[in-house]
A = this chain, B = another copy of it.
Amino acid sequence: MKKRNFIVLGGDKRNLELVNLLWGDGHNVRNLVETDIQTIDLEDYEIIIGPLPFSHDNETINAPFHSQELFIEEIFKGMKDGQLFIAGKIEEEHILKAKDYKINIIDYFNREEMQVLNAIPTAEGAIQLAMEYLPITIHGSNALVLGFGRIGKVLANMLNGIGANVYVLARNYGDIAWIENYKYSPVLFKELSKYLLKVDVIFNTIPSIVLGEEMLVYLNKQSLIIDLASKLGGIDFNAAKGLGINTIHALGLPGKYAPISAAKIIKETIYNIIEERGI
């Protein structure tokens, strides 16, 4: 890829690493963290990279390492027509606003490769948590994965690779077939309670309540639930607490446990966007 002129705004450890990686690849990169926004002319940069997620408050850009607040409106105002702005998990309203300013705004988070690659540090972070909390090895344990989307698939594969007995909740006959192909054990919803009795660790990836109180009662007290589903998750946490069951609602694992890998994934995705658009 030819030499580019980037500026990176906001973001957590991943964006700090992203700056290093872009430098390492020979690009010009301005890291706004070290600079006063007032002294910057955004129009000078070919590509502006924002954070993941884009904003927590709908007013400012998510920028925990900046001493200043970065108001979304002001950033957009400072950009020129057709300029490229790339960030992750941008709310619809900000995309519309950016378009009003004639900004070429792109959300990298919904791209398939980003989702798949990001599932790797997510799964590995979840396994690390399980290793830390459980007094048994993952090898030889009974591990149940709820959901067989991207994270579920990557997680089942890794758990199997470490030597767990992998069970996957299957919601249709197609899922069952894939689960059997990979030699995991499919669990039908109607049989779930029976399996809960012998499970050591559960990884949930389904963003709606799968384990309510009526299910949680089947779990033994030594088991652990790691919920990877965003927002409210898939566990009735209050019920679990009442029953004395250990739960972890683990979000943002890539940024927390593998920021360099997470940054590499973002970088690759940004490169793909640039290449695809022939920019």
Which residues of A are at the interface with B, using a C-beta cutoff of 8 A? 17, 111-113, 116-117, 119-121, 124-125, 127-128, 131-132, 134-140, 154, 157-158, 160-163, 172-174, 176-178, 180-183, 257-261, 269, 272, 276
Contact = CB atoms under 8 A, between A and B. Distances in A.
Contact of A131 (B116, B119, B124): B124
A112 B157 contact: no
Contacts of A131: 124-125, 127-128, 131, 257
A224 to B, nearest CB: 13
A135 B173 contact: no
Contacts of A132: 128, 132
Which 5 pairs, one residue from A and one from B, show the smallest C-beta to C-beta distance? Answer: A161-B161, A112-B174, A116-B177, A113-B173, A113-B177
A34 to B, nearest CB: 20
B181 A137 contact: no
A181 B163 contact: yes
A141 to B, nearest CB: 8
11 contacts: A112-B172, A112-B174, A117-B180, A120-B139, A121-B139, A128-B128, A128-B131, A134-B258, A140-B180, A157-B181, A161-B163
Number of copies: 4
Nearest to A138: B124
Contacts of A180: 117, 140
Contacts of A178: 116
A54 B124 CA distance: 36
Nearest to A13: B135
A162 B117 contact: no
A155 to B, nearest CB: 11
A136 B157 CA distance: 19
Contact of A116 (B137, B161, B174): B174
A261 B181 contact: no
A54 to B, nearest CB: 21
B160 A258 contact: no
A157 to B, nearest CB: 7
Given A128-B132, A161-B160, A181-B116, A173 B259 contact: no
A272 B176 CA distance: 11
Contacts of A113: 173-174, 176-177
